[in-house]
Amino acid sequence: MGIHSFRDTSFFDSFNGDYQNKLFRSRVKKFELTVKNPCLSIKFSVNNRETYYINQKRIIIPQRHYRIFNPQDEVTFRTDSEEFCEGISVFLGENIIKETFIGMQRKDPLYQFDKHIEYETPFFYEKNTSVNIDTLGALLLNICQSNDEELKSKGLFYNLTEKMILAQLPHLKRIESISSLKISTRLELYNRINMAKEYIHDNIELNFKISDVARIVFMSEYSFIRQFKEVFHLSPYQYILNHKIEKAKVLLKNKNLLTSEIAVQIGFSDISTFGKCFRRQTGMTPTRFRQEVLSID
């Protein structure tokens, strides 16, 4: 266990390379470091974006976002900024992950993942996540505001691991739902399906086809529909429609927006089609929904 702070690479000249169950605070500029990353880690960028290279793949973590990294042979961290970049790196030993994961499963059967394989430690989904949306992010922010003495506790690493598993729970369940025995295949398929979901969310106003989304994530339309339903328990069409209606509900709370404007913003070709779909999904017309919501507010 250990808490370390560094501002330049000289710190690592005498460091013995044992990263497991250690937390590093960094405040650096014009900095590059390549290290072995033998264990699972969490990188949190506090005040600036951070750049990592894994197997020559460039990964940028935006300000106030964190990212979980599965064990890798080598990771390069680089910043060319003239301003100080502050960050936190947490390296979690397999023993703590294993102990916490098994303990959570025994405590609550909802944490069990045994459809295809039984494992003692999960393989995590790597994705940038805002620290404002989950308990792991809240804990990382709290660490930023704590001094080193307050953090010198083994309980901190158990707490981080538990929060990490809780934050990853939706991803873990979806990954386990994919019908493939190989974890690498399931992770790749889930990554593509998740990319499709994000594309849908970011482009909901466009009148795209399911085949368009499948092509963007390099899948056949048949495979995409089957895998998407396996992960989200909805067909892509139903998922898109649900997302349109949920976004419409939010927009309808703005009394300055015309219903026809809302229809265009969520990708309906005309107000009539929007009205029929909205009523089919909610049991009321958009106008009636708006009246009820505004009367409550």
For the chain, which domains are there? 2-176 (2.60.120.280), 186-296 (1.10.10.60)
**Order of all β-strands in the sheet with 65-69:** 2-6, 22-28, 85-92, 40-45, 65-69, 129-130
The neighbouring-strand residues paired with 42 are 68, 90
Q: Which two tokens stand for residue 37?
A: 């990353």
- Give pLDDT, residue 278: 94
Whether the CB-CB separation of 135 and 199 falls below 8 Å is answered with no
Integer Cα distance of 29 and 51 in angstroms? 12
Predicted local confidence at residue 295, as pLDDT: 78
Structure tokens at 133: 């949306």
Do the beta carbons of residue 93 and residue 152 sit within 8 Å?
Answer: no
User: If residue 86 lies in a helix (H) or strand (E), which one and from where to where?
Assistant: strand 85-92
Q: In whole angstroms, give the CA distance from residue 126 to residue 135.
A: 17
pLDDT of residue 108: 66
Residue pair 284/245 in contact (Cβ under 8 Å)? The answer is: no
* Distance spanning both ends of the chain, measured CA to CA: 51
Cβ-contact 42, 163 below 8 angstroms: no
pLDDT, position 225: 96
Which secondary structure element, helix H or strand E, spans residue 87, and what is its range? strand 85-92
The model's pTM is 0.71
Cβ-contact 91, 19 below 8 angstroms: yes
Q: How far apart are CA 143 and CA 177, in angstroms?
A: 34
Residues 4, 2: Cα–Cα separation, whole Å? 6
**Which residues face 52 on adjacent strands?**
59, 77
Per-residue pLDDT of the chain (297 residues; tens, 9 = 90+): 567 766 666 666 656 667 788 888 888 888 888 877 778 899 999 988 888 888 778 889 999 999 998 887 778 888 777 888 888 989 898 888 888 888 887 776 555 555 444 455 667 888 889 999 899 999 999 988 887 776 777 788 999 999 998 888 888 888 888 887 687 888 889 989 999 998 999 899 888 899 999 999 999 999 999 999 999 999 999 999 999 999 999 999 998 899 999 999 999 988 999 999 999 999 999 999 998 887 765
pLDDT of residue 115: 47
Q: Which amino acid is at 32?
A: E
